[in-house]
Amino acid sequence: MTSVASAGGAGVIVITSSSPIWYITRATGLVSIVLLTGTMALGLLSAVRFDAATWPRYITGALHRNLSFVALVFLGLHIITAVADSYTPISLPDVVIPFISSYRPFWLGLGSIAFDLMIALIITSLVRTRLGYRSWRLVHWGVYLCWPVAVIHGLGIGTDTRTRWVLSLTCACVALVVGLIIWRLAQGWPSNAGVRAASALTLAIVLLVSGVWLANGPLQPGWAKRAGTPSPASVKGTP
């Protein structure tokens, strides 16, 4: 059974088998993004010291931790199925080393970067008390790189980007995190005004650039080829 990949147009016809693995990869990828978003949101809530009668402080921290583990599980499934799927030429080294894959190398590479960062974040958090606060915090700033890279990876490599509900879901995730980041930057203003202003500016620029890229990239027909999807001929020959 053949099916046309949703992002494919006249250029490439992706032949899928009836294996459900590819669908699991896409599905777990989306769930991972949602869970990562939730984790990040809880981290930001902790930073802004969110506290309510029905939501005491320690819940935020505990939930943040537990949700990150759930996210890791789904991320693991996402990665394992992607590697196991005989169709796409994604191999094990591609998972941790970015940009060496033959399948949409750049966008997959972003995923590898996000995964590497996530492993670092989780390991340092597990040994936090032994590592020392300063080192742990330094690594944890990496979350501001990990999450957007993961989202862009999803948009750039995902074959579902042009679907309305996927797009809406992604936008909702972005809106949530961006909103919380703005809250965090605004709270405590004007202390560290320089850093806050620079961060806000960076946020705006990243959003703008991503939006422009999204509109001209994945949302346009022909993206699959431009993203570096290998043609069927080369796929067959890939180890």
Residues that bind another protein (CB under 8 A): 46, 49, 51, 56-58, 61-62, 128-129, 132-133, 136
Tokens standing for residue 58: 């320690």
Nearer to another protein, 64 or 153 (CB): 64
Among 96, 70, 78, 103, residue whose Cα is nearest residue 22: 78
Encoded amino acid at 28, one letter: T
Q: How far is the CB of 108 from another protein (least distance, A)?
A: 35
Q: How far is the CB of 128 from another protein (least distance, A)?
A: 7
Q: How far is the CB of 73 from another protein (least distance, A)?
A: 22
CA 118 to chain centre: 10
Nearer to another protein, 92 or 127 (CB): 127
Rounded distance between C-alpha atoms, residue 228 and residue 225, angstroms:
5
Nearer to another protein, 106 or 183 (CB): 183
Nearer to another protein, 46 or 210 (CB): 46
Q: How far is the CB of 133 from another protein (least distance, A)?
A: 4
For 127, counting Cβ atoms within 10 Å of its Cβ (0-12 exposed, 13-18 middle, 19+ buried), the class is exposed
Rounded distance between C-alpha atoms, residue 237 and residue 2, angstroms:
19
